[in-house]
């Protein structure tokens, strides 16, 4: 394949749309500032197609413009998923055969974060996007601690229940608070001597899979994750752990 460019009105015209907020009151000067900003981003023929006041001192913009850049998809290194996505029956079978008991999963939304919908999408019986959540799997016991959970409470629950896996959710962020909160949970588990052998998973819309190593997590899931992916990963990780333990 050769290099490709965004398609707007005609092939290869490079037209894209960018949205951003500037700290300036809505006005003609604000519109000109948005256009100048787009030019500095190398967008050709920029147009402000939407401008809206966000309170008295901020303005939100949507700008169209033509980029000169292109991309060749064949030249990219695309990471492959290290585990297969299994059916509901296969996940249960794999867990039953490798563990011979239920997999104990602790889930929590930590820090100041009160966004529980994402965590519930993965954990709750009703699930998400047509998939059942982890509570639906008979081979798993799920302890959903809810929102704004302190790392010390996660540690205590892991210890008291002999948990196999911890699932940490972070949705809201400012100044990378989502990264800080995930690291706090990892550090607390390390300090308590519980990290070894534990499957530590983080998730939320601001994360990407590549961040797992820097955060000290086994796996990170991002926006749009389906419960079946998480269930399959847990089955894969639990089997690998059981094999390593001999
Ligand atoms: C619903 C909502 C709320 C509800 C939350 C209710 C609840 N019980 O969860 C309420 C009204 C309480 C709320 C409050 C606030 N919110 Co709010 N909220 C949202 C909203 C509209 C939807 C979030 C959602 O439910 N998504 C649906 C779920 C299914 O998607 P998800 O969270 O991404 O989860 C998926 C994946 O990320 C992943 N995942 C998530 N967690 C985990 C964990 C694991 C282990 C795994 C494997 C996967 C995983 O799997 C899920 C399924 O695919 C978003 C905007 C948006 N459209 O996303 C704003 C948004 C997240 N909120 C935002 C803000 C700013 C706030 C407030 C600070 C507002 C305020 N000034 O008070 C407060 C903060 C409160 C607090 N202390 O946390 C901002 C965050 C911006 C930022 N910088 O991070 C957003 C993006 C809106 C915006 N554009 O400004 N909010």
The catalytic residues are 126
Residue closest via CA to ligand 1's atom 79 equals 172
Q: Work out the pLDDT band at 24, boundaries 50, 70, 90.
A: very high
Average pLDDT of span 128-147: 96
Low-confidence winner among 79-83, 103-107, 130-134, 211-215 (lowest mean pLDDT): 79-83
The percent of residues in the chain predicted with pLDDT above 70, rounded, is 99
Query: What distance in angstroms lies between residue 120's CA and the mean position of ligand 1's atoms?
Result: 12
DSSP 91: H
Average pLDDT of span 141-169: 97
| 30 touches 22 (CB < 8 A) | yes
pLDDT of 167: 98
pLDDT of 177: 87
| 185 touches 150 (CB < 8 A) | no
Average pLDDT of span 44-61: 97
Sequence-distant (6+) residues with CB within 8 A of 217 are 182, 186, 200, 201, 202, 211
- Asked if the model's pLDDT at residue 186 lies above 90, the reply is yes
Mutate to test the pocket of ligand 1, among 115, 127, 181, 215 (most ligand atoms within 8 A of CB): 115
Looking from the CA of residue 116, the nearest atom of ligand 1 is 9
- Asked if the model's pLDDT at residue 82 lies above 70, the reply is yes
Low-confidence winner among 17-21, 104-108, 126-130, 224-228 (lowest mean pLDDT): 126-130
Instruction: Round to whole Å and give the CA distance between 44 and 202.
Output: 40
- Asked if the model's pLDDT at residue 14 lies above 80, the reply is yes
Residue closest via CA to ligand 1's atom 67 equals 172
Distance of CA 220 to the CA centre of its chain: 7
Q: Work out the pLDDT band at 189, boundaries 50, 70, 90.
A: very high
Mutate to test the pocket of ligand 1, among 145, 172, 206 (most ligand atoms within 8 A of CB): 172
pLDDT of 1: 66
Domains of the chain: 1-78 (3.30.30.60), 88-244 (3.40.50.280)
pLDDT of 79: 81
Cβ of 19 below 6 Å from ligand 1: no
């Amino acid at each position: 394949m050769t290099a490709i460019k965004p398609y707007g009105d005609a092939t290869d015209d490079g037209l894209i749309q960018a949205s951003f907020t500037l700290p300036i009151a809505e006005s003609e000067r604000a519109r000109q500032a948005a256009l100048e900003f787009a030019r500095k981003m190398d967008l050709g023929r920029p147009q402000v197609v939407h401008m809206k006041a966000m309170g008295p001192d901020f303005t939100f913009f949507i700008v169209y413009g033509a980029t000169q850049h292109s991309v060749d998809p064949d030249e990219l290194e695309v990471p492959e998923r290290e585990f297969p996505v299994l059916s509901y029956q296969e996940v249960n079978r794999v867990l039953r055969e490798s563990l011979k008991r239920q997999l104990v999963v602790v889930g929590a939304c930590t820090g100041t974060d009160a966004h529980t919908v994402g965590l519930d999408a993965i954990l709750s019986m009703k699930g998400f996007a047509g998939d059942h959540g982890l509570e639906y799997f008979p081979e798993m016991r799920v302890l959903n601690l809810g929102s704004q959970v302190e790392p010390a409470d996660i540690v205590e629950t892991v210890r008291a229940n002999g948990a196999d896996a911890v699932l940490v959710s972070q949705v809201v962020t400012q100044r990378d608070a989502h990264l800080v909160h995930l690291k706090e949970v990892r550090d607390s588990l390390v300090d308590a001597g519980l990290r070894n052998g534990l499957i530590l998973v983080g998730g939320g819309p601001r994360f990407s899979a590549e961040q797992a190593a820097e955060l000290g997590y086994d796996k990170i899931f991002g926006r749009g994750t389906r419960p079946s992916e998480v269930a399959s990963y847990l089955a894969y990780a639990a089997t690998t752990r059981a094999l390593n333990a001999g």
